[in-house]
Structure 1
Amino acid sequence: MKRLYVHPKNAYLMWEDESPFFYLADTAWELFHKLSREEAEQYLTVRAGQGFTAVQAVALAEFDGLSGPNYYGRVPLHQKDGRYDPLLPDTEGGNSYWDHVDYIVKAAARLGLFIALLPTWGDKYNLKWGKGPEIFNAENAYQYGKWIGTRYCEEWNIIWMLGGDRPLENELHHQIIDAMAQGIREADPNHLITFHPSGESSSVQHVPDRQYIDFHGIQSGHGTNGLENWRMLRRTMQTEAKPCLDLEPRYEDHPICFKPEYGMWNCDDVRQNAYWALMEGVCGHTYGNHCVWSMNTQPTDYYRYCWTEVLHHPGAEQMRHVKALRLSRPYFEFRPAPELIADDHAVMAHQCAARGESYAFAYSPLGQPMRMYLQFLCTTAVKASWFDPRTGEEQFFAVVPPRETLFAPPTSGKGRDWVLVLDVLETS
């Protein structure tokens, strides 16, 4: 079975042959709950073709995921004494709820996609908001974790994602997550585990110093604080030396600050979060479209489109370029390089840089000039190119000496972001 590992330097993920794995996920929380098998195959085929490497989906879904049936009229759990019981999964017959989950997991595997599988949405243990109901305690969380871990331990394309957008606010919440993780890990010692936190927080705040956490995640969220996802990522990686990424940044077509009257986040906003994160040395990134994660079929002011209409929206198509840029140079030596750039800009204009041994990237989210200190990169000349995040095209424009240099991107303004690519030239 193919396996993922954490790289020995603790920053990135890799395959067992030590080749790099860049976690580029799409968000499809309601995938198992709402789509037919044919629709799921359609969705997965598109995302695989766009270069995604993973899909995030929930077994016990948020939108009435216990009592609301899936496409085939089945619910995930049977009831006992009038309550949905995590120890009574619907597995009877050839078209059970969990048979449907099995089918989609295997369909994703055929396309080379991981399923980042949340065993449950967070409202099933902390009904801070949502439908719920709360059904977990420490004992049944352990048993459910062991059951679902056993069911999928032989599927190569599983990454476990605990949490589910609710905070851990008391000892019981922590006991539930720890117990579920224990059950999963006992049944499945080979797949990686992470944690999806609530909005504008990090998994390191909720599950610090947990041996079962292989890589951390933040949710920078859908408000204006999401403009500083790079700060949250930096703090998380400074707190614990584990890989990290933004598991829920601003979604394309999502109401700004959850208010449709403010407008919608678009592909320009999505790209900013992705490249800001990249320059912090993350192990990947997550994209989301508001109408896809929900698998919406009835457009409203809050969900503007049907999910099938937005599969090819610009943000989704442009995410492949993030992965391509990151994989284009030596991978595991990459690290943040604030020493290479003068960043004195306001939040939305935050400029940042990262480097390897003989190359560097620098990001200007609004196409504003970047003052670079090339003398800290090398002592020889540097080949400079512009990388267009909208098209993935890289265009050489100059050879420059290793000194302080001001680089002006080809265009500027909102939606005119650019990556400066610097390759050190060997001496002749």
Structure 2
Amino acid sequence: MRQPTIYLFIVLFHLGYHTSVGQLHISPGKHYIEEAGRPFLWIGDTAWELFHKLSREDAKYYLKTRAKQGFTVIQAVLLAEQDGLRTPNYYGDLPLYDFDPKKPNEAYFEHVDTIINMARELGLYLAILPTWADKVKSDRPGKGPVVFNTDNAYVYGRFLGTRYANSPVVWMLGGDRNVLNDSVKAIWAQMAKGLQAEGKHAKLITYHPAGESSSSQWFHQASWLGFNSYQTGHAYPYFPVYKFAARDYALQPIKPVIDAEPAYEDIPIRFWEFIDWTGKERVPPHILDDKKLIKDKNFFKYGYFSDYDVRVHAYWNFLSGACGYTYGHHAIWQFFSANDTFDIPCLQEWKASLKRPGAASMLPLKKILTARNFAQLIPDNSLILGKNNNDSTYLCAARAEGNSFALVYAARGQQFTINSTIFSGKLIAHWYRPKDGYIIPIPLSKGSQLLTFVPPTSGKNHDWLLVLDVEEANLPSLSSSFP
């Protein structure tokens, strides 16, 4: 660890500003985030250990890959989960002196500065967690240690808010923990106050809770909370993420909402049932190969989340009111390399995981939600006639404000019927395959108000999106939007 530099309460170093990204904000009464007055589509990636574990060269490689794949936001942590206060970063620097949030190490944050500037040049925003929440008292202790109180949380928040006042940053408090009590709630509130002390330069703030929880449970009425985040977690496929989106979408005052941590691609389903959190070995050594990768896949008996699971949760979220979705890959959030330490073992190393099919499907998601403006979407399952089960066959529908188009997602390629009476004018229909953006025109029967649609294929891994357009709306042609 380098020798300490004199800590200034007001940091004199400010990052430069690049026109490739602007600043994000919320307009009152809107269900989405804006950039320069335009709706901002949050397609996130989970990179919790980015600042802690990667060299600058690897960070650049990672960020360039994600930018090419259509991602717009990268989520990362300053005081990291994997023993981030005791284990130094790639360059040998710890973030704090004496475990004191009032004593940040300049060398560590210069490394953070460099990565933020890399992201800026690539047009990416960073959703930064000031700390993983195991550094704050909770009902689920981690490696910690617990170092925050109301006093130093404000000071640390102000240090960050000042340093990154002109950076492409969104603040995400929390870190996989719910709020234990009012005293803990006050600590997070003071950190938020410090982050926003810069006034007009203050960034958006949200809160990342534990699985199957939302920031709205504690902070929806807080003036500092710009938008809500929920974590739908890693419990099982076809998790009803649409219930979380719908609940927060309906809250007053209106605040946008994102799924900040759905099921990660390639993570073992319900992994916590098979991990020894207290023993020397997290899993029996014989299930791992000589690189500490999983060789006995059957050890995790529920299997692993797939690219299909990723797509189901993404489309269910967006068509139920969310304005953002954060993809995650199990090897990438912890940037696991051969023989590295791990919290939960992986199937692949992180570089080999960058182009997994779930990540590749984020670009088709981005393309369709740009061609059919996601900011106009109003969740409306009343379009679908008949019973809609809350299971793998759940159908999710949304229409545009003004009824110029509608989207219906069939997770298992199931048949459904639409009541088209709300649309005025001639309708044009296409099937859109979320896996790769493949498009198939659908001939429609003239004069019929009840339209039945049968996707080209059906069953697990055969999800389809119906795109239903009013011809007179002159929407962008899907064929020309997807060369």
TM-score of the aligned structures, taking structure 1 as reference length: 0.94
Distance in 2 (alpha carbons) for counterparts of 1:410 and 1:246: 29
In the alignment, which residue of structure 2 is the partner of 1:348? 392
Report if the CA contact (8 A) 1:251-1:290 is conserved: yes
Per-residue deviation, 1:394: 2.2
Q: Does 1:310 align with 2:322?
A: no
Q: Does 1:31 align with 2:50?
A: yes
Distance in 2 (alpha carbons) for counterparts of 1:410 and 1:266: 21
| 1:29-428 → structure 2 map (5 Å cutoff) | 29-79=48-98, 84-91=99-106, 96-127=107-138, 128-155=140-167, 157-187=168-198, 189-224=201-236, 227-240=239-252, 241-258=254-271, 259=274, 260-298=300-338, 302-342=345-385, 343-356=387-400, 357-376=403-422, 378-400=423-445, 401=447, 403-426=449-472
Provide closer, same or farther for how the CA distance between residues 402 and 57 of structure 1 changes in structure 2, counting only shifts above 3 A: farther
Per-residue deviation, 1:225: 7.8
Report if the CA contact (8 A) 2:238-2:312 is conserved: no
Per-residue deviation, 1:19: 2.0
Comparing 353-362 and 217-226, the one that deviates more: 217-226
Report how many residues are paired: 416
| Paired AA for residue 33 in structure 1 | H
| Paired AA for residue 351 in structure 1 | L
Give me the CA root mean square deviation: 1.7
Distance in 2 (alpha carbons) for counterparts of 1:8 and 1:65: 37
Distance in 1 (alpha carbons) for counterparts of 2:151 and 2:137: 16
Per-residue deviation, 1:13: 1.4
Give 5+ residue unaligned stretches, structure 1: none
SS in 2 for 1:354: strand
Per-residue deviation, 1:8: 4.3
| Paired AA for residue 85 in structure 1 | D
Report if the CA contact (8 A) 2:233-2:262 is conserved: yes
Report if the CA contact (8 A) 1:382-1:402 is conserved: no
Per-residue deviation, 1:346: 4.2
Per-residue deviation, 1:303: 1.2
SS in 1 for 2:84: coil
Provide closer, same or farther for how the CA distance between residues 7 and 54 of structure 1 changes in structure 2, counting only shifts above 3 A: same
Distance in 2 (alpha carbons) for counterparts of 1:426 and 1:70: 57
Distance in 2 (alpha carbons) for counterparts of 1:330 and 1:47: 22
SS in 1 for 2:82: coil
Per-residue deviation, 1:334: 1.6
SS in 2 for 1:224: coil
Distance in 2 (alpha carbons) for counterparts of 1:73 and 1:10: 44
Per-residue deviation, 1:154: 1.4
Percent identity over the alignment?
Answer: 41
Per-residue deviation, 1:226: 6.4
| Paired AA for residue 353 in structure 1 | A
Comparing 218-227 and 200-209, the one that deviates more: 218-227
Per-residue deviation, 1:190: 3.4
Give 5+ residue unaligned stretches, structure 2: 1-16, 275-299, 474-483
Report if the CA contact (8 A) 2:237-2:309 is conserved: no
